[in-house]
């Protein structure tokens, strides 16, 4: 069963907006055994959308469109789909009721004709009611193929996928089981890792695919397969993992969570241990904290964080000693360790992570080279730190520092 | 002049990685007058890549591919391009030298055959030297069309676009000037805004396109045009802006910066005023701070931030009074204002922003409904706050709160 995702909107093609919808839809489809053949981003242009629909119908069984369903004149997806199906738009009373309800609860101004017109849907469409917004989802069939049009607003689209689209797709198709298992590997480059596991990779059965995903200091090694016997697939993949783990035992840092991040692995382990975390950040500017707090359940283990961006705030707020700063500079192992220890005390946590460095582009309150970062981990018993140089691209330095801090902390909490 | 961007990699089609490369490339191409016709994400599969190349050649003049150039077996882009051009791979000595240099500086282990093989390029290709990595960029021509293949690692791709691809494209083509101007509008929904400006929109000249971009409580209204007379285009767009501004004068919050964010507008204004900012966050968990610190120059105005995720840390670290917390709860205007005032004092800043709320999914240390958020702004003279309810989706609550905090602060610093 193959799907194609078509995202519609000029904002994507001028680079004003990053398309996050496609990755969400793809991941959800994978969970119910639907593979995505292609993702295509097209303009708010009738001819272009029609061409994309035609091509997608050749490539895929399930075509999911997002975007272009708003009330304004630049939104033309609905009319274009109606044309593609030789259909006309008719008023749907249930959608109109939903629009009126949302208007009463959240907007409270007069309901305009353009809003009422959002209740117009192609006569052949099944409405997927959007409780979170005024643009309805639409489900249309052509032979054994399904065309699904969803609003582009991410949380509206996400709710429709989860509660309307996936259940209907599972009803309609008998889908295989898709299994991805991703190993997190630190400290080995892509080619060194490939050389290490070469014999194993060459002996992999044909239906298990392997991918290498390098990302700023960490590697992800992904095994993927699909089929109808879930139990057998899991067993086969586990056998391969059992074979590869001894080859990378010093570099293997854990499995990536289903939801896809190291910070979730850390969150689960901290929650399991009943331990808490505090974070003191300089060059990473709140990004380490944000990586944890964006996930629900963070309040169970995350006590708090401090971003001491200025030297004065390192002294006044985090109580790093002036002597240490004068002697070693703000970008030093001594200051990183002091930040971690003091954050641990201040927030009364079991662990603390600290970062201090120079992300560039210019040198700051320290003579340290651009790219120099110290990362410290404090526990109730000890504190330690490491020095890194992450190059001279600001965003890269920040993200590499965040990844490295998470890696060091992951190793800390899985120590025995 | 039209371009198509093809991003290659199974990780995109299973939703493991969000495609951020396309938006970057599209924005850069726009700057030199190249419009992007379509963005297509395809699998690491020879037949699929060949099909995408064929279709892109029909649609566009410039085809930019990213991804699939790594040293491992799942990376097949280079061989596939050679096949598309009926070409063979030959060793490029300059690329090999670059690989050896990088290896000596950063890796220091033995150079493997797979790494040396990265110096193989199609014989018809012009190499775009990648100083940041071992996979070279490649430039190939077919008639008047150009095919450019770049590594998928974002910072390597970005440097190649900026320093190699754009200059070569500007040399080769006489491109028009593309102008986008985006107005930030707060406090009006999409349809209310459209109704307000309807007569103006209907009278827009054909070559000026209008787009509405709603995003969690803020609206962006984008005017786009292109042509060869930069001066005339700027004048025409300015005339339209002069006409629309009086219609939205209470809701207009400024122009979106070229680089695309409210926080950059704020950063510029603070730097211009010579004023500083501190941030105290609860439910937004470091995200407000991160929005500022990701941009260079943040140290000029950003003093620091505190994430007080637990009630204890609000008292111990931010010195919010126990009486206020007991009387009003941690999710209250009193606590938000106290957090803002105390952050201002602690970091000795001119302004402070504070957030406290319940992002869900469960209620925390307060009886406040999920979605309730208080945002406070403190200056040296006053403090004020507002209450919001941002619904019950965690990520949505956090991001709406961040946007609203930025909006409130934007208004504060542009007050006269």
Question: In angstroms, rounded to a whole number, what is the distance separating the alpha carbons of residues A53 and A47?
Answer: 10
Helix (H) or strand (E) holding B201: helix B198-202
Name the residue among A28, A114, A214 with its Cβ closest to that of B191.
Answer: A114
Q: Does residue A199 surpass a pLDDT of 90?
A: yes
Mean pLDDT of A242-246: 95
A48 in Cβ contact with A7 (< 8 Å) = no
Q: What are phi and psi of B71, to 5 degrees?
A: -85, -5
Instruction: Tally Cβ neighbours within 10 Å of residue B171.
Output: 7
Res. A104 pLDDT band, cuts 50 70 90: confident
Inspect the interface and report whether the beta carbons of B294 and A310 lie closer than 8 Å. Answer: no
Decide which of B245 and A296 is more confident: B245
pLDDT at residue A221, as a whole number: 92
Nearest chain A CA: its distance from B30 CA (Å): 6
Decide which of A173 and B277 is more confident: B277
Interface of A with B in 87-106 (CB under 8 A): none
Q: Express each pLDDT in B40-62 by its tens digit.
A: 999 999 999 999 999 999 999 99
Q: Express each pLDDT in B212-246 by its tens digit.
A: 988 766 788 999 998 989 999 999 999 999 999 99
Inspect the interface and report whether the beta carbons of B20 and A18 lie closer than 8 Å. Answer: yes
Name the residue among A12, A290, A348 with its Cβ closest to that of B287.
Answer: A290
pLDDT at residue B87, as a whole number: 97
Maximum mean pLDDT: which of A2-6, A192-196, A286-290, B109-113: A2-6
Inspect the interface and report whether the beta carbons of B190 and A71 lie closer than 8 Å. Answer: yes
Inspect the interface and report whether the beta carbons of A347 and B13 lie closer than 8 Å. Answer: no
Radius of gyration of chain A from its Cα atoms, rounded to whole angstroms:
26
Radius of gyration of chain B from its Cα atoms, rounded to whole angstroms:
26
The answer to whether B73 contacts chain A (CB < 8 Å) is: yes
A392 in Cβ contact with A371 (< 8 Å) = yes
- Minimum mean pLDDT range among A73-82, A353-362, B391-400: B391-400
Mean pLDDT of B397-411: 90
pLDDT at residue A252, as a whole number: 84
Q: Express each pLDDT in A118-141 by its tens digit.
A: 999 999 999 999 988 899 999 999
Q: Does residue A416 surpass a pLDDT of 90?
A: no
B365 vs A285, B4, B178, B282, B309, CA distance in Å?
26, 51, 51, 12, 10
Q: Does residue A82 surpass a pLDDT of 80?
A: yes
Name the residue among B15, B73, B316 with its Cβ closest to that of A201.
Answer: B73
Mean pLDDT of A223-229: 91
Interface of A with B in 106-135 (CB under 8 A): 107, 109, 112, 114-115, 132
Q: Does residue B364 surpass a pLDDT of 80?
A: no
Residues of A in contact with B209 (CB under 8 A): 10, 74
Question: In angstroms, rounded to a whole number, what is the distance separating the alpha carbons of residues B295 and B275?
Answer: 17
Nearest chain B CA: its distance from A369 CA (Å): 16
pLDDT at residue B239, as a whole number: 96
A211 in Cβ contact with B11 (< 8 Å) = yes
Mean pLDDT of A92-115: 87
Q: Does residue B401 surpass a pLDDT of 90?
A: yes
Nearest chain A CA: its distance from B271 CA (Å): 15
Mean pLDDT of A235-254: 91
pLDDT at residue B359, as a whole number: 87
pLDDT at residue A214, as a whole number: 80
pLDDT at residue B366, as a whole number: 74
Decide which of B259 and B404 is more confident: B404
SS (H, E, C) B98-138: HHHHHHHHHHCCCCCHHHHHHHEEECCCEEECCCCCCCCEE
pLDDT at residue B261, as a whole number: 74
Question: What pTM was computed for the model?
Answer: 0.73
Decide which of A155 and A85 is more confident: A85
The answer to whether A321 contacts chain B (CB < 8 Å) is: no
Q: Does residue A165 surpass a pLDDT of 60?
A: yes
Helix (H) or strand (E) holding B356: strand B351-357
Inspect the interface and report whether the beta carbons of B41 and A22 lie closer than 8 Å. Answer: yes
Largest CA-CA distance found in chain B, in angstroms, rounded: 78
Search chain B and give the residue with CA nearest A398: B294
Q: Does residue B391 surpass a pLDDT of 70?
A: yes
Res. A152 pLDDT band, cuts 50 70 90: very high
**In what side-by-side order are the strands of the sheet with A177-186?**
A209-215, A218-227, A177-186, A252-255
Tokens of residue A106, six digits: 């959240």
pLDDT at residue A105, as a whole number: 78
Question: In angstroms, rounded to a whole number, what is the distance separating the alpha carbons of residues A248 and A176?
Answer: 31
pLDDT at residue B250, as a whole number: 80
Name the residue among B15, B70, B296 with its Cβ closest to that of A190.
Answer: B70
Torsion sign (Cα): A27, A28, A33, A37: negative
Mean pLDDT score of chain B, rounded to an integer? 91
Q: Does residue B106 surpass a pLDDT of 80?
A: no
Tokens of residue A158, six digits: 């996400």
Name the residue among B192, B298, B317 with its Cβ closest to that of A347.
Answer: B317
Nearest chain B CA: its distance from A120 CA (Å): 16
Name the residue among B28, B72, B395 with its Cβ closest to that of A190.
Answer: B72
B55 vs A161, B39, B41, B84, CA distance in Å?
30, 12, 13, 12
pLDDT at residue A257, as a whole number: 64
Res. B392 pLDDT band, cuts 50 70 90: confident
pLDDT at residue B127, as a whole number: 97
Torsion of CA A158, A160, A163, A169, to 10 degrees: -110
Largest CA-CA distance found in chain A, in angstroms, rounded: 78
Tokens of residue B376, six digits: 């406070």
- Minimum mean pLDDT range among A85-99, A127-141, A192-206, B352-366: B352-366
Interface of A with B in 140-169 (CB under 8 A): 153, 155, 158-159
The answer to whether B312 contacts chain A (CB < 8 Å) is: yes
Inspect the interface and report whether the beta carbons of B289 and A307 lie closer than 8 Å. Answer: yes
Nearest chain A CA: its distance from B86 CA (Å): 25
Q: Does residue A259 surpass a pLDDT of 80?
A: no
pLDDT at residue A243, as a whole number: 96
Tokens of residue B272, six digits: 């211009």
Residues of A in contact with B44 (CB under 8 A): 211
Indicate the length of chain A as a whole number.
416
Inspect the interface and report whether the beta carbons of A361 and B192 lie closer than 8 Å. Answer: no
Inspect the interface and report whether the beta carbons of B346 and A30 lie closer than 8 Å. Answer: no
Question: In angstroms, rounded to a whole number, what is the distance separating the alpha carbons of residues A413 and A406?
Answer: 11
Nearest chain B CA: its distance from A106 CA (Å): 10
Inspect the interface and report whether the beta carbons of A23 and B16 lie closer than 8 Å. Answer: yes
Residues of B in contact with A18 (CB under 8 A): 18-20, 22-23
Mean pLDDT of A192-216: 89
pLDDT at residue A174, as a whole number: 84
Search chain B and give the residue with CA nearest A359: B296
Inspect the interface and report whether the beta carbons of A73 and B210 lie closer than 8 Å. Answer: yes
All residues at 6 or more sequence positions from A131 whose CB lies less than 8 Å from its CB, including other chains: A98, A159
pLDDT at residue A346, as a whole number: 93
pLDDT at residue B236, as a whole number: 96
Mean pLDDT of B257-273: 80
Q: Express each pLDDT in A31-49 by its tens digit.
A: 898 999 999 999 999 999 9
Inspect the interface and report whether the beta carbons of A306 and B304 lie closer than 8 Å. Answer: yes
Interface of A with B in 241-280 (CB under 8 A): 260, 279
A184 in Cβ contact with A256 (< 8 Å) = yes
Mean pLDDT of B189-209: 91
Instruction: Tally Cβ neighbours within 10 Å of residue A300.
Output: 11
Mean pLDDT of A100-115: 82
Q: Express each pLDDT in A364-392 by its tens digit.
A: 777 788 899 999 999 999 999 999 998 87
The answer to whether B54 contacts chain A (CB < 8 Å) is: no
Inspect the interface and report whether the beta carbons of B286 and A284 lie closer than 8 Å. Answer: no
Inspect the interface and report whether the beta carbons of B72 and A195 lie closer than 8 Å. Answer: no
Residues of B in contact with A357 (CB under 8 A): none
Question: In angstroms, rounded to a whole number, what is the distance separating the alpha carbons of residues A188 and A193?
Answer: 6
Beta strands in B145-189, from DSSP E residues, in sequence order:
145-150, 177-186
Res. A175 pLDDT band, cuts 50 70 90: confident
DSSP SS3 for A214: strand
- pLDDT above 70 covers a percentage of chain B that reads 97
Q: Does residue A295 surpass a pLDDT of 90?
A: no
Q: Does residue A258 surpass a pLDDT of 80?
A: no
Nearest chain A CA: its distance from B144 CA (Å): 23
Residue owning tokens 């009387």: B327
Mean pLDDT score of chain A, rounded to an integer? 91
pLDDT at residue A217, as a whole number: 65
Inspect the interface and report whether the beta carbons of A155 and B395 lie closer than 8 Å. Answer: yes
List, in sequence order, every residue forming a beta bridge with A210; answer none if it has no partner.
A223
pLDDT at residue A269, as a whole number: 87
All residues at 6 or more sequence positions from B150 whose CB lies less than 8 Å from its CB, including other chains: B64, B65, B66, B69, B128, B137, B156, B157, B160, B161, B165
Q: Does residue A260 surpass a pLDDT of 60?
A: no
pLDDT at residue A46, as a whole number: 96
């Amino acid at each position: 069963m193959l799907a194609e995702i078509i995202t519609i909107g000029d904002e994507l093609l001028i680079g004003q907006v990053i398309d996050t919808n496609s990755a969400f839809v793809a991941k959800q489809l994978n969970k119910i055994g639907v593979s995505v053949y292609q993702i295509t981003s097209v303009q708010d242009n009738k001819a272009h959308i029609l061409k994309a629909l035609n091509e997608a119908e050749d490539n895929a069984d399930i075509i999911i469109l997002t975007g272009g369903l708003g009330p304004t004149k630049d939104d033309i997806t609905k009319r274009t789909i109606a044309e593609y199906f030789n259909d006309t738009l008719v008023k749907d009373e249930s959608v109109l009721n939903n629009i009126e309800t949302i208007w009463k609860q959240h907007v409270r101004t007069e309901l305009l004709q353009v809003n009422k017109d959002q209740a117009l849907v192609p006569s052949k469409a099944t409405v997927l009611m959007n409780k979170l917004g005024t643009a309805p989802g639409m489900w249309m069939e052509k032979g054994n193929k399904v065309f699904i049009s969803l609003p582009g607003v991410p949380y509206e689209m996400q709710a429709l996928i989860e509660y309307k689209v996936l259940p209907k797709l599972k009803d309609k198709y008998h889908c295989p089981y898709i299994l991805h298992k991703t190993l997190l590997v630190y400290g080995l480059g892509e080619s060194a890792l490939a050389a290490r596991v070469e014999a194993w990779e060459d002996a992999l059965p044909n239906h298990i695919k392997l991918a290498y995903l390098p990302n700023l200091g960490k590697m992800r090694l992904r095994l993927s397969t699909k089929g109808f016997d879930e139990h057998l697939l899991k067993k086969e993949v586990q056998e391969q993992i059992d074979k590869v783990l001894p080859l990378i035992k010093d570099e293997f840092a854990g499995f990536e969570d289903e939801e896809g991040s190291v910070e979730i692995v850390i969150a689960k382990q901290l929650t399991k241990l009943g331990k808490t975390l505090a974070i003191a950040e300089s060059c990473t500017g709140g990004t380490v904290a944000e990586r944890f707090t964006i996930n629900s359940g963070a309040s169970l283990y995350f006590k708090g964080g401090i971003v001491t961006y200025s030297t004065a705030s390192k002294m006044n707020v985090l109580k790093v000693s002036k002597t240490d700063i004068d002697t070693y500079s703000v970008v030093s192992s001594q200051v990183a360790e002091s930040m971690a220890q003091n954050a641990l005390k201040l927030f009364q946590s079991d662990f603390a992570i600290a970062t201090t460095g120079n992300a560039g582009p210019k040198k700051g309150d320290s003579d340290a080279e651009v790219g120099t970062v110290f990362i410290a981990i404090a526990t109730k018993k000890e504190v330690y730190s490491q020095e890194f140089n992450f190059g001279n691209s600001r965003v890269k330095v920040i993200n590499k520092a965040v990844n490295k801090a998470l890696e060091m902390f992951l190793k800390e909490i899985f120590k025995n």
